Structure 1
Amino acid sequence: MTTIAIPARLSDGAVDPRIEEANRIFADVVHLAEAAGLEVEVVETWDAASFDAGRYAGLILPGGGDIDPAQYGGEASDELYDVNPVQDELDFGIARAALAAGIPVLGICRGLQVLNVIHGGTLVEDLPETEVEHGEGPAAGADGIAWAWHPVALQADSALAEAVGADRMPVASGHHQGIGALGDGLVATAVAEDGLVEAFERPDRSVIAVQWHPEALGTPPELAAAPFTAFAARVRAEEQVTTPGR
């Protein structure tokens, strides 16, 4: 079975309920990856000298707390939460190693933001109010999280649109930050009605990232699976290239 890496969540959920939520749904991200036929290995610590990205066929960067704004030339804000330098070190380290090794990467929520920053993009530290609610909604769902549901428009020729089989889809949001400037070499593949970029890819599909949470309970199964299906397809395509004759 194809093995992919995923960095652990390192913050204590007892400090903030949002951290507890991110820690709890981490397992749901793992389950969706496994349902796509991928074997998951959780990476607990970052050691640049010993980490070998070549051991893995791909990387998934899951959701979590806020990135230190110093990573993208931003400013500190009272709205920031769970800024964890050890988590930043792990996520940024493993992501840069994966990109350097040329293995496919899937980013989810914080994972999308990490990838945008690595590609030279910026983040909005706290999104202004618009007609679209991106943060938590007014009532908790079956998983205890008050997701904010809204539609996004998908770019027709993107890996995500192909996996979904449509040009629009509803998504479950739970983020107060978002993309400011899109990173170099990235193409926006989903946009909310207020213009916020909600997903991007590299043109070769080696990077696929979504701002929403496909693992949120209440997401139709085919939509929950879509980012993982697109990612797994790229992983397997890369394996065929690197191991011809299989």
Structure 2
Amino acid sequence: MTAPRIAMPARLSAADGADARVGLANAIFHDVAALVRAQGLEVVVVHDPSLDGFDGLVLPGGGDVDPARYGGDTSAPCYDVNPAQDALDLAIVDEAMRRGIPVLGVCRGLQVLNVACGGSLVEHLPHTDVRHTPLKADDDGLRWAWHPVDLAAGSRLVAHAGASAIEVASGHHQAVRRVGDGLVVTATAADGVIEAVEHPTAPVLAVQWHPEAKDTPPALAAAPFAVFAALVREARA
């Protein structure tokens, strides 16, 4: 039997001369794809929302969803708002949900999923005792902010993570405000920021953190992708 085929929507913003966060998102796209492949899945980068012949969808990180998409404040300090990216990502989520195809979101991917399900976002997180935004590195690049998150008992994630509290790599300045229809919160940070969601009956989950960050323990890096791979194989069967 051939490996399940997983669609990943292309990143449409060029990193050259742009916000450093765009370059980081483009670079880690390949790290997310590697974690998908490590589960025995085939990754195909797509530029349109058709999911014919696909067994799953992975939504990677990237820039901000246009606040106009969820009735938010369009004057908020957003970055890399790309109408073409929003159109592609939201349309492909809608298609996956319509078909019942498993979905995994990472960082922006969680936010896209939430908006696609009718939810809204915090346009710019206030400062709290938990650092969510990336920090400046010595080489003028960016490095992850690390903090603990609590996983909900009974969630798909906690079963694979092997612990109810984990340390994660964070690199976002937006978060879920109103949870989308059908989604449930399955992880939170100490300041209440929503760090993961799942759908209790559909094969859908997403994390706000970056499991692909290089210092993440291998088992924790693999956990969301292992859940996703199991959902893909179950749906395919």
* Shared fold, TM over 0.5: yes
Partner Cα distance (2:211, 2:100) in 1: 25
2:158 to 156, 161, 165: 161
Q: What residue in structure 2 maps to residue 213 of structure 1? A: 210
Q: What residue in structure 1 maps to residue 170 of structure 2? A: 173
Q: What residue in structure 2 maps to residue 56 of structure 1? A: 54
User: What is the CA deviation profile of residues 7-62 of structure 1, one whole-angstrom value per residue up to 9, with x for unaligned ones?
Assistant: 01010101221101100110000000000111001002x2x6xx2x2411100000
Residue pairs, 1:113-132, within 5 angstroms: 113-132=111-130
Partner Cα distance (1:176, 1:140) in 2: 21
Query: Any unmatched runs of 5+ in structure 1?
Result: 241-246
Residues 7, 45 of structure 2: 8 Å contact kept: yes
Q: What residue in structure 2 maps to residue 38 of structure 1? A: 41
Within the alignment, does 1:22 sit opposite 2:25 as a pair? yes
User: What is the CA deviation profile of residues 155-205 of structure 1, one whole-angstrom value per residue up to 9, with x for unaligned ones?
Assistant: 121111111011011110000000101111111000000011100000025
% identity of equivalent residues: 57
Letter in 2 for 1:120: G
Partner Cα distance (2:150, 2:101) in 1: 27
Q: What residue in structure 2 maps to residue 226 of structure 1? A: 223
Query: Any unmatched runs of 5+ in structure 2?
Result: none
Partner Cα distance (1:151, 1:164) in 2: 13
Partner Cα distance (1:239, 1:172) in 2: 32
User: What is the CA deviation profile of residues 54-112 of structure 1, one whole-angstrom value per residue up to 9, with x for unaligned ones?
Assistant: 41110000000000111100012352100000111111111111111110000000000
Change (3 A) 1:140 1:160: farther
The TM-score, its normalising length taken from structure 1, stands at 0.91
Partner Cα distance (1:219, 1:64) in 2: 19
Partner Cα distance (2:33, 2:168) in 1: 19
Secondary structure of the residue aligned to 2:143 is coil
Letter in 2 for 1:8: A
CA RMSD of aligned residues (A): 1.4
Change (3 A) 1:157 1:125: same
Within the alignment, does 1:4 sit opposite 2:6 as a pair? yes
Letter in 1 for 2:207: V
What is the aligned residue count? 233
Secondary structure of the residue aligned to 2:142 is coil
Residues 3, 40 of structure 1: 8 Å contact kept: yes
Per-residue deviation at 1:139? 3.9
Partner Cα distance (1:213, 1:140) in 2: 21
Letter in 2 for 1:84: N
